[in-house]
Amino acid sequence: MFCSCETNKRIVPRISASAENRRSAPSGASMTPPRQMNFQQLRSVREAVRCGFNLTEVAHTLHTSQPGVSRQIRELEEELGIELFVRAGKRLTGLTEPGGHVLPIIERMLMESSNLKHAGQEFVAQQSGLLSVAATHSQARYAMPVAVQEFRAQFPNVKLHLHQGSPKQIAQMLLDGEADVGIATEALGDYPQLVALPCYRWTHSVIVPPEHPLLDAPLTLEALARYPLITYDTGFTGRSRIDEAFEQRGVQPNIVLAAMDADVIKTYVQLGLGIGIVAGVAYEAERDTQLRAIDAGRLFGINLTKLAVRRGTYLRKYVYAFIESFAPTLTRAVVEGALGDQEKASHYEI
């Protein structure tokens, strides 16, 4: 990935010589003023990495031309006196070692620039703006509606964008700045760039048609394994705990269908394709009249849903308000304390 030492030796003297010529130019001589580093150069570098070093995609993302992107990157390299990217002809193929060192600094500078804008907006329009929340289907469908309703009543002029995805997709949206808040049970605590705080605990339920034999017998993993099972796809809504429980018991489950959506699981249980394992909150007795639920917490353990924000991000007043509406234990003081203290965030409990 990184360019060779010989390449670096050729590059740095060339740039240094250019700088030396500017310093040694006689006073009064005509010379081009040195270009100053700017945010567009920083964005070009960041997006080049995000877009897999495809400058055509970078140009599309930044609403500019490919030659313009190349020029911005080269000017920044000249300003810094190093090459940031490994090149094969005119193509970028990766980051150099100096580029890998500089990239986190560039990302921090761009994030602080965004924070500065948000801080100004906080005082210009305290009751309006945009809140972007990323969540899994189960969270968006069953856990969030009350919080969203309360938030809309409190901040009617704030636009709310709701993104749904897998836990890993949610984490990436937070890292890319596409979401302010992420909510999921899996993955969010695996990223050091995120502050992930616990919201609430929940257990799985087994859902069956009325009068199913499991309703009148002790619920065991061996009993479940005798039936076709329909549950969540890998990486969603506590699926890892389900797999671990069967594996530790030495029982092979017959999972015939996996889905991201609890409503899909319930639909196929009603059609007789098997019995379902869903989050307990996904069973609604008043709506799911053709199904019955059996608590399976004893079999699969207790799950913990987490809410995450990106470390170092400036959060506006209404973001804190939404967080507290969703998880009353996560007050502004708690969230601010966790943002400022990684150790405190990792040990916070509900």
Q: Tell me which residue range forms the domain holding 95.
A: 5-22+35-106
Tokens of 204: 């799985």
Q: Kindly give, in sequence order, each residue whose CB lies less than 8 Å from that of residue 323, ignoring residues fewer than 6 positions away.
A: 181, 307, 309, 330, 335
CATH number of the domain that residue 53 is part of = 1.10.10.10
* One-letter identity of residue 78: E
Would you place residue 8 in the very low, low, confident or very high pLDDT band (cuts 50, 70, 90)?
A: very low
Residue 10 has pLDDT above 80, yes or no: no
What value does the mean pLDDT of the chain take? 86
Does 136 map to a domain? yes
pTM attached to this predicted model:
0.66
Do residues 225 and 153 both lie within one domain? no
- Sign (positive/negative) of CA torsion 209, 213, 216, 219? negative
Do residues 208 and 187 both lie within one domain? no
**Predicted local confidence at residue 347, as pLDDT:** 54
Strands 228-232 and 275-279: parallel
**Predicted local confidence at residue 19, as pLDDT:** 42
- Comparing CA positions, the residue from 306, 350, 303 lying closest to residue 203 is 303
Number of separate domains in the chain: 3
Does 113 map to a domain? no
Do residues 180 and 319 both lie within one domain? yes
Average pLDDT over residues 257-276: 96
Does 115 map to a domain? no
Do residues 317 and 176 both lie within one domain? yes
Do residues 184 and 211 both lie within one domain? no
Burial label for 330, CB within 10 Å (0-12, 13-18, 19+), is buried
Instruction: Tell me the per-residue pLDDT of 113-129, one tens digit each, with 9 for 90 and over.
Output: 776 776 666 555 566 88
Do residues 296 and 309 both lie within one domain? no
Do residues 140 and 280 both lie within one domain? no
CA 320, chain centre distance (Å): 18
- Comparing CA positions, the residue from 321, 341, 346 lying closest to residue 332 is 321
Do residues 73 and 133 both lie within one domain? no
Do residues 192 and 262 both lie within one domain? no
Residue 293 has pLDDT above 90, yes or no: yes
Instruction: Tell me the per-residue pLDDT of 70-122, one tens digit each, with 9 for 90 and over.
Output: 888 888 888 888 899 998 888 898 899 988 888 888 888 887 777 677 666 65
Do residues 198 and 252 both lie within one domain? no
Do residues 174 and 102 both lie within one domain? no
Residue 154 has pLDDT above 90, yes or no: yes
Instruction: Tell me the per-residue pLDDT of 27-36, one tens digit each, with 9 for 90 and over.
Output: 444 445 556 7
Contact at 8 Å (CB) between 256 and 273? yes
- Residue 320's alpha-carbon distances to 131, 229, 236, 323, 329, in angstroms, are 11, 40, 26, 5, 12
CATH number of the domain that residue 228 is part of = 3.40.190.10
